[in-house]
Structure 1
Amino acid sequence: MGIVLKQSFTNTLILFLGFAIGGINVLFLYTHFLHEDYFGLITFLLSTANIILPLLVFGMQHSIIKFYSSYKTKIEQDGFLISTLILPLVVIIPLALIGVFFYQSIASWLSSENILIKDYTYLIFIVAIFMGYFEVFYSWTKVQFNSVFGNFIKEIFTRICTSFLLLAVYFNWISNEQFIYAVVAVYGLRTLIMKLYAMYIYMPKLVFKLPANLKEIFSFSIYIIIAGSASGILLEIDKFMIPQMEKIAEVAYYSVGIYIASVVAIPTRAMQQITNPITAKEMNSNNILIVEKLYKQSSINLLVVGGLLFLLINLNITELYEIINKPQYTRGIWIVLIISIAKIMDLALGTGNAILVNSKYYKIFFYLSLTMALSVIVLNRWLISLIGINGAALATLIVVLVYGVIKILFIKSKLSIQPFSRNSVKVLVVIMAIYFVINFWNFSLNPILSIFIKGVLITSVYLVIIKRLNISEDLNKLFSKYF
């Protein structure tokens, strides 16, 4: 776990910094500087682009992780990497032509409830291409076990640029409309920087030779395209469907709640940057014992760190919304709790998704992702109409819990490994106990002072209990080193 902990720790710091900058953007700059309709619009555009991203790049970002380590010679590796840049064009060019011919119909359908969307519909396709090729080049660096710079560009660079653009709106240097186009330009610049860095880390020779296992790559990519799109649907479909059923400003309120809750998932995102390529390598070598060790360690470590974030967020959520000082945004306060519970389930999975994708059973990931996507669409349609934006969050929670359990049981049945131990139960009990005890405390102080006092109290109590219970060997080493 040495390289995992080292890069995961660095990536976690980057993600925290990125989320801090993003938090300033989402909770204060967006809410106070940008009209809420345009806040909802940019969220809708980016979310929709994320949904179609896997299709446009033909799943190449995942194929690189899975297959790169299986090639033994540099010529094979270089030919494979060059192919990952060319194959997406097989999808992008035809879809671009279809989009040109049917643009008005597509734009009218997407803007049926909110006419503001119509003039910006084409930006979805452009942003999706930028996002897709960014992920492809990022995967180039991941398989070289170099994930930190890409994580920095992805998490911090984009958000800093957005901060400057929001300030530009505030000072009337650009309009709300120009802000939308400027954000798209930032995503384009981000991709260019990632391309240059990927080629600096590893410059493949121009080998125009299709990989010998092209059929296998195509088969995997097709499954991953659908599975990736389905996963994108699970993450983003709520922000896509809300404007089809509610005012577009509701997306802004929903996005604030989602953003706050997503802080719980920071440890997962940090660790996945390095555990995914390592899991792929060990699965290709059939080192199941190492895969199992990584599976268990990642699960317990993520649960411990994510559990602390869950408590800090949900036990201070009322005070946080007081600081935001935008009463209409409190409509998303329950979304924070609902989604952060879903994130806890994701943490418990550890490297489970990476194991599924990189095993010979990867097709089950396709079927699970597809049924998850269909389930969340049906539940969203029903629950949004029933209880509004809280229904979208509840739909996500139900799907994540049900299919998370199914994934764990499937891996257990096929590979005879599972991520849990008695310590997993102990962590969950500690999280619930602290939540229910402190949730009833109201300090009636200034919200910033209240957050500080609660934060110190929660962190101290939680870390002392986790240390005394000897929950995680890896984290105990960190405690011993720094405290």
Structure 2
Amino acid sequence: MGVIKHQSIRSTLLIYIGFAIGAVNIVFLFPRFFSDTQFALTRLLPEIAIILVPICTLSTVPAISRFFPYYASHLKDKENDMLTLALGATIIGFSLFVLGTLFFKDAIIKANIEKSPLFITYFYLLYPNVFLFSVFGVFESYSGSRHLTVFPNFLKELVLRLLTTVLIVLHYLSWINFDTFLWLFSLLYGVLLLALLVYLRRHKFLYFNFRISRVTRRLLPKMATYSLSLLGASLFTLLANNLAPLILTSSKGLQDVAYLTIAQYMSQLIMVPQRSISAIGLPVLAQAWKDKDKDKIEEVYVKSSLLQLTYALFVFLIIWSNIDSFFQLLPPNYSVGKYVVLCLGISKVIDMGTGLNSQVLSTSRLWRYDLYSSVVLLALSLPLNYYLINHFGLIGTGYATLLSMLVFNTIRYIFIWVKFGLQPFTMSSVKAIGVALVAYFGCIWIPLAIHPFVDIVIRGILFLAIFVTLVLAFRVSGDITSTIYSAVNKIRRRQ
């Protein structure tokens, strides 16, 4: 767990710095320098690309993490053909996507031309978005299997947002028009991909072997079955998590997507540690299942749950205690997303608190149940989003997400407990919830200050002080305590 803790801390810090830059882009720059529909389009294109990545990679991204330990233990680096296979599958998958869009072109236009004509105008930009997202995903997974996760996170979370800021400023200065902005915006992942290739090359991990290895001949049937099954699981999960913008686009228009984007961005702040912990924990779990090391699996499962729950409660409650001040920093029409933030935030806390349940399932012998539970999630999300959005509007997206994620994670939690005898919650989980609630009620009594930014700072500092003090006093997490004391000691030594 030490590798997971140290790399996840560094990755999490990078991601939060990136989110701070992203907040400037999304909260201050996009709403002021672009129309609501233009802003929504810059969110919709990458979100659709993310949904389509499992199809275009034929779900080889999770297969790399799942089977890489077998390749690494039986082949030299130059003999390893796994990366070549994954890239070949991606080219095939992307070709199928292109053919599919050409076949369904008329239906896509008919569904969106009335409410979202701008999306139809720039539909062709999906192609570079989808291709670059997919190829980067393959190399990111390969890098993670080599336990090199910090640099890909640095590129994706920090560099990407800085480059986006540069493009926004260039557009604001009228140096580039909106067409050029969208083209450059859609090609940003190409820059990240080149940087990651150089990084892997310098570490002497970038090899392409076009000969089929003995490991591939032995594992290919199992890998194909695994990848195609997880293709459904990944696609269903991504569809369920990203249905709302698509339904809003066709039923309400792009304007509501812009408002939803702000609420989703705030809720995604809660998920930051999960992204780094899961990326690092996945190869560790895959190796532990290969070695039949149940103690290691339980350790990762329990500790990841506690770390994620503590982080999630901290970020969610610090956001919610300042929610009115946050929306005062935005144009008034964006305030309709306030209670969407509440519903999405609670759903993220639930998802984070149940630990790496998806990773535990997908790397185990019962990995097919990852697909089955994802089918349940989509089966819940599609009708809930459609019905609740049409009846309640924007807030319906929050209701649908909260209900579907609660059922989804409960099913996975019970299944892992029954089949493997593993469950992530301990008395420390209860302590984390208690500490977070005390910190929240300890700071919400502060009246609004002269300026919302000042209010956020004051409440944030008070919440942080109460939360950290109680986490240390009640020894909520040994990993968090050791990290805090280690940081304090480093600061003292520098002084």
Q: TM-score w.r.t. structure 1 length?
A: 0.96
Corresponding residue of 1:37? 37
Q: Structure 1 residue 305 and structure 2 residue 311: aligned?
A: yes
- Asked if the contact 1:33/1:167 (under 8 Å) is kept, the reply is no
1:193 is aligned, of 192, 195, 199, to: 195
Give the letter aligned to residue 408 of structure 1.
Y
Q: Distance in 2 between matches of 1:46 and 1:161?
A: 15
Corresponding residue of 2:428? 423
- SS across alignment from 1:470: coil
* Superposed displacement of residue 177, structure 1: 3.0
Q: Distance in 1 between matches of 2:356 and 2:58?
A: 23
Corresponding residue of 2:456? 451
Superposed CA offset, 1:18-42 (max 9, x none):
1011010000011111111111112
Q: Structure 1 residue 356 and structure 2 residue 357: aligned?
A: no
* Superposed displacement of residue 101, structure 1: 4.8
Corresponding residue of 1:379? 384
**Bigger CA drift: 207-216 or 427-436?**
427-436
* Superposed displacement of residue 477, structure 1: 1.3
Change (3 A) 1:370 1:198: farther
Q: Distance in 2 between matches of 1:26 and 1:86?
A: 36
Q: Distance in 2 between matches of 1:83 and 1:336?
A: 41
Once the two structures are superposed, the pairs formed by residues 28-427 of structure 1 within 5 Å of their partners are 28-71=28-71, 72-74=73-75, 78-201=80-203, 202-209=205-212, 211-212=216-217, 213-324=219-330, 326-427=331-432
Give the letter aligned to residue 207 of structure 1.
F
Corresponding residue of 2:16? 16
Superposed CA offset, 1:348-378 (max 9, x none):
1222111011001111110111220121111
- SS across alignment from 2:4: helix
Q: Distance in 2 between matches of 1:347 and 1:100?
A: 39
- Asked if the contact 1:261/1:336 (under 8 Å) is kept, the reply is yes
* Superposed displacement of residue 337, structure 1: 1.4
Change (3 A) 1:102 1:474: closer
Unaligned runs of 5+ in 2: 489-495
Give the letter aligned to residue 173 of structure 2.
F
Change (3 A) 1:102 1:261: closer
- Asked if the contact 1:334/1:390 (under 8 Å) is kept, the reply is yes
- Asked if the contact 1:56/1:91 (under 8 Å) is kept, the reply is yes
Q: Structure 1 residue 461 and structure 2 residue 462: aligned?
A: no
- Asked if the contact 2:60/2:86 (under 8 Å) is kept, the reply is yes
Paired residues, number: 482
Change (3 A) 1:98 1:427: closer
* Superposed displacement of residue 149, structure 1: 0.8
Give the letter aligned to residue 133 of structure 1.
V
- Asked if the contact 1:40/1:251 (under 8 Å) is kept, the reply is yes
Q: Distance in 1 between matches of 2:151 and 2:438?
A: 39
Give the letter aligned to residue 459 of structure 2.
K
Give the letter aligned to residue 271 of structure 2.
A
**Bigger CA drift: 433-442 or 334-343?**
433-442
Give the letter aligned to residue 220 of structure 2.
L
**Bigger CA drift: 172-181 or 436-445?**
436-445
Aligned-residue sequence identity (percent) comes to 25
Q: Structure 1 residue 7 and structure 2 residue 1: aligned?
A: no
**Bigger CA drift: 216-225 or 231-240?**
231-240
* Superposed displacement of residue 436, structure 1: 4.3
Q: Distance in 1 between matches of 2:84 and 2:232?
A: 23
**Bigger CA drift: 412-421 or 172-181?**
172-181
- Asked if the contact 1:43/1:239 (under 8 Å) is kept, the reply is no
- Asked if the contact 2:446/2:459 (under 8 Å) is kept, the reply is no
* Superposed displacement of residue 275, structure 1: 1.1
- Asked if the contact 1:345/1:400 (under 8 Å) is kept, the reply is yes
Q: Distance in 2 between matches of 1:383 and 1:358?
A: 35
* Superposed displacement of residue 454, structure 1: 0.8
- Asked if the contact 2:318/2:440 (under 8 Å) is kept, the reply is no
- SS across alignment from 1:150: helix
C-alpha RMSD over aligned residues: 1.7
Change (3 A) 1:205 1:73: farther
